[in-house]
């Protein structure tokens, strides 16, 4: 298996890097364009693997369909892609099989399938109930009201909302449970309205009127989720003067809470002409608590930050991390354990309710071997530990292409030495 050895001869983080375009915004815009059937320009579209895959599959669906009776589409390990395509294909003529990697076949999708079938779609499980692969028979859908459980993934809600203006009577969506990643639902509604959809949003009910998306050219913001790894690195460094190009401080992305979170660790965020600038004022912190219900994509980086400086921490709203590209809580526990850091999990039945870090002085031996578990975010939260260890080895570093293809090049430009 491919590996990379990462070293850093000093503990200085100085320079300027351009962050990737937001994958979340890009994928929503691709769906809006496909659903509308009208072309418009998306500037700064993400080059992440998930976005490239979604582009390719949408082209196949809309332009490159073969004459086979059943058309199979492989989403690999892209959760967003399978969730966004399920409602979309339900209204496309023909028969479709949505499948993916072995890990994808372990990621539940029954909540979305049940909602679509309630609206009149025809979606069946081909193997294990509640999990891909799916057989979808495209047809007209006439339902107008459904309840969706929001406690597993906001992407189920987003997938239904994106298609809603094109249902004959629109959609009344009732939200059940405490929504995870609710800023992503806000992002979806913001973009829908930008393209002319009429959406009325309440606490537990969203009403989308029937209509059409109006084409307009649009520029995609850089990705705030990708900034989390550099904030983590800034805490581990001794000197920091880092510019992150393309990030707007006023953003439609929920993960723009990073400046507020990392202010607790002595990291200052300032607006520049091109983005933001990180500097550091040493600050003592004994412990940290946070609820990541709305921000699961940055949870690993913040937990790793606290682990790396050896403080007590308690983190809630993390249950969705179990069903990502890997079980990220399992990955955190294993890899932080290599540094002598103890992580304990609290449960309510099978659901993780909290993660606790015990205060400990981490050990940072050079030449540590880290696993990535096939997960892009796990790889990127481990890489900054080179500032602590001086050197570390990581297996399967190519996983970063899922969301941040230039991550390793950005590390090189900041003085990290990489040997593949």
User: Which residue is associated with the tokens 């990955």?
Assistant: 331
Q: How far apart are the first and last CA of the chain?
A: 11
The candidate with the shortest Cα–Cα distance to 173, out of 118, 124, 123, is 118
Q: Quote the CA–CA distance of 237 and 305 in Å, as a whole number.
A: 11
Per-residue tokens: 283? 């600050």
The candidate with the shortest Cα–Cα distance to 138, out of 69, 221, 47, 82, is 69
Strands 3-7 and 391-395: antiparallel
How many residues make up the chain in this entry?
Answer: 420
Of 297, 348, 375, 398, the active-site residue reads 297
Per-residue tokens: 361? 């002085």
Per-residue tokens: 64? 């490159």
Identify the burial level of 318 via C-beta atoms within 10 angstroms of its C-beta, where 0-12 means exposed, 13-18 middle and 19 or more buried.
Answer: buried
Residues in CB range of 34: below 8 A, 6 or more apart: 58, 61, 62, 88
The candidate with the shortest Cα–Cα distance to 185, out of 235, 216, 148, is 148
Identify the burial level of 153 via C-beta atoms within 10 angstroms of its C-beta, where 0-12 means exposed, 13-18 middle and 19 or more buried.
Answer: buried
297 among known catalytic residues: yes
Q: Quote the CA–CA distance of 314 and 285 in Å, as a whole number.
A: 14
Active site members: 297
């Amino acid at each position: 298996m491919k590996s990379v050895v990462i070293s850093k001869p000093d503990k200085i983080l100085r320079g300027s890097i351009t962050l990737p375009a937001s994958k979340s915004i890009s994928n929503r815009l691709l769906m809006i364009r496909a659903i509308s059937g009208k072309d418009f320009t998306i500037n700064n579209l993400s080059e992440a693997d998930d976005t490239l895959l979604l582009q390719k599959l949408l082209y196949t669906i809309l332009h490159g369909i073969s004459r086979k009776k059943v058309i199979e589409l492989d989403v690999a390990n892209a959760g967003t892609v399978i969730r966004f395509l399920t409602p979309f294909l339900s209204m496309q003529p023909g028969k479709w099989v949505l499948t993916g990697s072995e890990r994808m076949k372990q990621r539940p999708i029954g909540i979305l399938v049940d909602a679509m079938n309630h609206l009149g779609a025809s979606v069946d499980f081909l193997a294990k109930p509640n999990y891909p692969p799916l057989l979808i028979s495209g047809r007209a859908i006439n339902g107008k009201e459904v309840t969706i459980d929001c406690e597993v993934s906001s992407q189920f809600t987003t997938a239904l909302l994106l298609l809603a203006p094109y249902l004959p009577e629109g959609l009344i969506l009732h939200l059940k449970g405490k929504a995870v990643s609710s800023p992503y639902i806000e992002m979806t509604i913001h973009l829908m309205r930008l393209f002319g959809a009429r959406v009325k949003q309440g606490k537990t009910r969203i009403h989308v009127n029937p209509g059409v998306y109006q084409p307009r050219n649009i520029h995609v913001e850089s990705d705030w989720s990708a900034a989390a790894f550099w904030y983590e690195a800034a805490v581990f460094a001794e000197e920091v003067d880092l510019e992150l190009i393309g990030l707007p401080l006023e953003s439609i992305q929920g993960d723009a809470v990073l400046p507020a979170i990392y202010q607790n660790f002595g990291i200052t965020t300032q607006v520049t002409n091109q983005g933001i600038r990180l500097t550091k004022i040493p600050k003592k912190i004994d412990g940290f608590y946070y609820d990541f219900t709305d921000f699961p994509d940055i949870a690993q980086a913040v937990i790793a930050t606290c682990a790396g400086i050896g403080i007590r921490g308690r983190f809630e709203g993390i249950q969705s991390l179990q069903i990502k590209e890997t079980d990220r809580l399992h990955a955190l526990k294993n890899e932080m354990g290599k540094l002598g850091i103890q992580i304990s999990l609290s449960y309510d039945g099978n659901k993780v309710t909290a993660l606790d870090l015990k205060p400990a002085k981490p050990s940072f031996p050079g030449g540590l071997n880290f696993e990535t578990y096939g997960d892009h975010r796990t790889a990127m939260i481990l890489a900054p530990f080179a500032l602590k260890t001086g050197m570390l080895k990581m297996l399967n570093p190519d996983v970063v292409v899922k969301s941040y293809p230039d991550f390793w090049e950005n590390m090189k430009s900041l003085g990290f030495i990489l040997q593949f």
